[in-house]
Amino acid sequence: MNNSNLPVDDLGAMPEKSGYPWLTAYPAGISWNAALQPTSVHLLLEQSANKYPNRTCTDFLGKCLTYSNISRLVDRAACGLQQIGVKKGTKVGLFLPNSPTFIIFYYATLKAGGVVVNFNPLYTVEELTFQVEDSETDVMVTLDLKLLFDKVEALIEQGPLKRAIVCSFPALLPSFKSTLYKLLKGNDLAKPKAARIADKLIFEEQIFANDGRVDVPSITPEEDLAVLQYTGGTTGTPKGAMLTHAAVSCNVQQLAAWAPELKPGEERMMGILPFFHVFAMTVVMNFGVATAAELIIVPKFELDQAMKLINKTKPTVMPGVPTLFNAIMNYPKLSSVDLSSLKFCLSGGAPLPLEIKRGFEGLTGCKLVEGYGLSETSPVATANPLEGPVKEGSIGQPVPGTILSIRELGNPEHEMALGENGEICIAGPQVMKGYWKRPKETSDVFIGEFLRTGDVGYMDDEGFTFIVDRLKDLIICSGYNVYPRRIEEAIYEFPAVEEVTVIGIADEYRGEAPKAFVKLKDGHTATIEDIFKFLEPKISKIEMPAEIEFRDELPKTMIGKLSKKELKQEEVERKGR
């Protein structure tokens, strides 16, 4: 069901169609019809290492490795993986925080012919068990941190996982920090060699003990899988999006075509977002590596430490989610941080509220560019121009080679007119092959060559698309469609509000009604009545929340997106009592 059957010419470029509205106003100097060459993903690193061998590839807590260093480690790891039986199609799980280890084993797995399965380090053993079994993960790579290793040990003891590769966390640090870590934080380290399942473990010294000569298998980029990327499971059981080498490599090329302002071998990419998430995997790691950027790797996000690191390392590009930029904007010591090195900040993973975009740009002077995508599109499908006109509230235009089509809700065969709401559907070389072992779900999510996103939006006459909301978040209130995002945007305009999320709750009179959860900025006060009064001229009565509740913190996902799932569950349980 993938889109590798989209027509391409000998150069890999897609035919243009005059009916595509974005072609009338595409960014200057960028061709929507840019040639895209599907390739094996591990070649992204090889090409940069060949061209920029002495360029710093990773800066991890002060320890730097060059592209040549990383490339040699990848070769040895790939050879070691093959020696333990990894071959074409073998599923290799990465259960790791952001680190050079993640990068090395990601590319090593692909070079050995394996398929990367990304695992969330915060998952419970139960969640991990499902994903290990569903993906048929053969071996999992992890670190000797108790937080991770204890879960791996449980997976092996309970049976779903047969073996694991364990790497040293202290070895990743500069020698002084490594010694200090062992002395002061030794309790955070596991003792895998003394573990009950030690006979099921392979240690990194065994994996790297070879000459690095890899027997690289033949890869058909359009057919062979590079990554099984599991969806978040917010609408049911998580599903493995099958991302081919072509999907991932073409998405990187689409980003490079969209951002000619970024210079190969000169950029410094801030790696705050977790690499296991599709946004960071492509936009930070793969795109960073493909452009020979220096990757400034943050293993765990803490605002104060991140701001100090930005001040010290002077990144030029920082991808993030809206809550990150909101946190920076509200950072008490922002005036003491030098952000002048930043050329662009890229926002994705969740809709970017206008108040956050305007506030961040006003305070920092750095352009905040919103893009859009999902796990099933590797992930980038649209972006606002880095240079030139940006339409506020828009997710931008389709990146090169990508077609957006707005389809009628409930009748996806029918395309909507410009300016009319419908379901956003996407076709392009970065679209997944389908869901792993789920033919029905795969069939349901495609309409012809187009992937149905579940997002509601409209397109203007210049091909800029505006998201109204998620279909699954739509609130049916007295028979009317109420979109939480519209209410959230209005509440964000209230000066004391730092974060807000709106869900639908059961309502005897209206069937469903909106409820807003609000976090106020530090040092600010407001009453519920203040916010209701503020909203009266801004939204209709049908959109007015039935309830507003203040919270000290709002639930977030691993990448920092505001999460509605927990709040919905709380409301269900509260109503049931």
pLDDT of residue 9: 35
Residues 210-268: pLDDT tens digits? 999 999 999 999 999 999 999 865 445 789 999 999 999 999 999 999 999 999 999 99
The answer to whether the beta carbons of residues 540 and 510 sit under 8 Å apart is no
Residue 284 one-letter amino acid = V
| Among 433, 453, 437, 439, CA closest to 223 | 433
Please return the burial class of 420, using the count of CB atoms within 10 Å of its CB with bins 0-12, 13-18 and 19+.
exposed
Strand partners, 367: 344
pLDDT of residue 577: 56
Q: Where are the alpha helices (DSSP H) in 354-438?
A: 354-364
Q: Which tokens sit at 327?
A: 């946190």
Q: What is the DSSP letter of 192?
A: G
Residue with structure tokens 């349980």? 573
| Among 120, 106, 127, 70, CA closest to 274 | 120
State how far the Cα of 286 lies from the Cα of 290, in Å rounded to an integer.
Answer: 6
pLDDT of residue 295: 98
State how far the Cα of 247 lies from the Cα of 284, in Å rounded to an integer.
Answer: 16
pLDDT of residue 13: 46
Q: Where are the domains of the chain?
A: 43-228, 474-576
Helix (H, G, I), strand (E, B) or coil at 108: helix
State how far the Cα of 486 lies from the Cα of 507, in Å rounded to an integer.
Answer: 20
Name which CATH class applies to 43-228. alpha beta
pLDDT of residue 191: 96
Give, in order, the Cα–Cα distances in Å from 149 to each of 141, 180, 300, 449, 576.
10, 21, 17, 42, 38
Residues 348-377: pLDDT tens digits? 987 888 889 999 999 888 999 999 999 999
For residue 114, how far is the Cα from the chain centroid?
Answer: 21
CA atoms within 13 A of residue 307's CA, in its CB half-sphere: 17
The answer to whether the beta carbons of residues 518 and 497 sit under 8 Å apart is yes
User: Checking DSSP bridges between strand 268-271 and strand 497-507, what pairing results, if any?
Assistant: unpaired
Helix (H, G, I), strand (E, B) or coil at 498: strand
pLDDT of residue 531: 97
Residue with structure tokens 């993960």? 137
Counting as low any pLDDT under 50, the low residues of the chain are 1-16, 234-235
Q: What number does CATH give the domain 474-576?
A: 3.30.300.30
Q: Is the dihedral of CA 90, 91, 96, 97 positive or negative?
A: positive
pLDDT of residue 343: 92
Give the start-end residues of each E strand in 275-415: 294-297, 317-320, 344-347, 367-373, 380-383, 397-398, 403-408, 411-415
The answer to whether the beta carbons of residues 263 and 294 sit under 8 Å apart is no
pLDDT of residue 237: 78
State how far the Cα of 159 lies from the Cα of 189, in Å rounded to an integer.
Answer: 23
pLDDT of residue 3: 43
pLDDT of residue 17: 52
Q: Which tokens sit at 120?
A: 């969330």
State how far the Cα of 512 lies from the Cα of 510, in Å rounded to an integer.
Answer: 5
User: Checking DSSP bridges between strand 115-118 and strand 91-94, what pairing results, if any?
Assistant: parallel
State how far the Cα of 46 lies from the Cα of 68, in Å rounded to an integer.
Answer: 9
State how far the Cα of 347 lies from the Cα of 386, in Å rounded to an integer.
Answer: 12
List b or e across 58-96, with b for residues whose CB sees 16 or more CB atoms inside 10 angstroms: bbbbebebbbebbbbbbbbbbbbbbeeebeeebbbbbbb
